[in-house]
Each structure stands twice: as structure tokens, then as C-alpha cells.
Amino acid sequence: MLASVDPSQSPVAGTRLFSWIAAAAAAAAAILYGPLLIGLARQWVNDGDAAYGAVVAIAAAFVFRERWRRVRALPLTGSPAALIFVLASALLYFAGTLAADVFLVRLSLPALAASAIWFVAGSTHLRKLAAPLALCVVAIPIPDALVTEATLPLQLVASRSAAALVSAAGVPVVRDGNVLALGSVTLEVAQACSGMRSLVTLLALVAVYAAFRELPLRRTALLALATVPVALTGNSLRVAATALLATTSLGANAARGLTHDLTGWAAFVLMCALLAALTGVRPGSDRGQSAVARRLNLPGRTT
């Protein structure tokens, strides 16, 4: 004897209902966050300090695509408890809007996405997609207030370290705050030379590397912490090199134009090389991996 089946209870009907709900939620999110995302993209293009965000966002899309292939076959085990975090994300959006804090408003988007995934699909899906969601957070430019707060200490560290290096090279130098006096030439370690941009970019590179290599959270955090001394060292060497070049026939031209740009690129390449050494990535072989890399237990590349 055949039993009647309620169409509304069939798997197909449930899938269609879920699809309609997901589509409606996506449309609402697009309307709500569309202008915000357009503004974020414009900042990536027009603001050199935020340009790294575009690269991180592209990396997040690639990682999401790769992870999605793994999670799409997993069963949906949504958690009603995650609704609390969905509401908290919405409150974050409205709080940022009322306070005119664009960073909080932007942060609410990945927070809402993570909460929605947890609510609809479950914690397993959220864990699998945590890396691309984290990259979305990293792609959001740091608030100007935080950048301003950190810039002056970084300027002082760079000027002190550079003065010590120049003095060790036998060149007389007098430091007054973030100003270096070298005979007839006076150089100022400006905000753009504080090393903040290099530090933020290195952190973004670590996040992308950790996402693609699927590093555990602890190793990622240790590697992220390592970017601070690496950035400080590289930037101090750059300022010192600029000061030494200023004592030559270049004079004050060492701190501007092509020479200034070349020293900046050389310093950043050095920073990346130091980070690569910490991760144990070496061309051709993983033998001779650094002690720090072994301590972090980071993977090396083998032939």
C-alpha cells in the first residue's frame, strides 16, 4: 500500500525552499553591502597604503573556490545558536553606521558571512571556510586612527636604529626625534618611511601564505608576530642606507625620486627573504631549515 507524501516535506521541496531563502538573503546582502564594497574597491585602487587589500581579496576568492569543492558535499547541520552571532553582526553594522565608523561597517560583512554559514550549514562548514573568511578581514584597510597611533613610535624606532647603524659605520650623525643631521644634510624620517606600509603588507602576505598552505592557527600567529621585528629591521636598514647615501654626492636627492624608491624596494625584498627563511622555504631543498622554522614546525618545499 502506497503512503501519500506531502510535497512540502520532500527533499526536493526542502532544497528549493533553502535555495529561495539563500537567494533572498544574498539579494538583501547585495543591496545592503553593495555600495560599501564599491567604496572598498575604490580605496584599494586609489590608496597606495590599502592596495594590498585587492591582492588579499583575490587570494580569498581562490581559497574559497578550492575549499568549496570540499564542503559542498558535506551535510547541512545548521546551528540555531549561531543566530545570536548573526544578530550581533547586524548590530555591528548599525553601530558602525551610527558612529560613522566605516571599519566597523566593513568588518560586519565577513562577521555576518561567518555567522550565516554557521547558522545554515554548521560548524564544520565554518571551519573549512575559515581561511577565506579570515582573508576577507585582512583585506579591510586598517583604521586611520590606529595607523596614526602606530606611526610615530615606528618613526622613532627607525630613526634611532638608523642613527646607531650610521654611527657604527663611522659617519657622524646627530638625532633629534625623527630628524637625522649628517653634516650639511638633514633628513627626516617621515610618516611614509615609518615602515607601517611594509608591516601591513607583510602581515597580508603571511595571511595569504597561511591560507594556501593551510597552516595551523598557532603557527600562523607566530609567523605574524615575526613580521614585526622583520619589518623594523628592514625599514631601519633602509633609513640607514638612505642616510649614508645622503653623505655622498647624491646629497638630499638620496631621500627622493628613483633612489628613494629603489632603497624601498630593496628593503622590502630583504624583508620577504627574511620571512621566507623563517618559513623554511628554500629553493631546491628543505635541508638546512632555520632553527626558528623548525621551532615553528613550518613546512618547507622539497624537490
Mind listing the pLDDT tens digit of every residue in the chain (303 residues)?
444 444 444 444 545 655 676 667 667 777 888 888 999 999 999 988 888 999 999 999 999 988 888 888 888 887 888 889 989 999 999 999 999 899 999 999 999 999 988 988 888 889 999 999 999 999 999 988 888 888 888 888 999 998 899 889 888 888 888 888 887 788 888 877 788 889 999 999 999 999 999 888 889 999 999 999 999 999 999 999 888 888 887 777 777 778 888 888 999 999 999 988 887 644 444 443 434 344 444 444 433
DSSP string, 39-102: HHHHHHHH-GGGTHHHHHHHHHHHHHHHHHHHHTTSPP---GGGHHHHHHHHHHHHHHHHTT-H
24-59 per-position pLDDT tens digit: 766 777 788 888 899 999 999 998 888 899 999 999
Give the per-residue pLDDT at 22: 62
C-alpha 2/C-alpha 136 separation (Å) is: 52
172-197 per-position pLDDT tens digit: 888 888 888 887 788 888 877 788 88
Domain chopping of the chain, boundaries: 11-141, 145-296
C-alpha 25/C-alpha 15 separation (Å) is: 15
Model pTM score: 0.77
DSSP 247: T
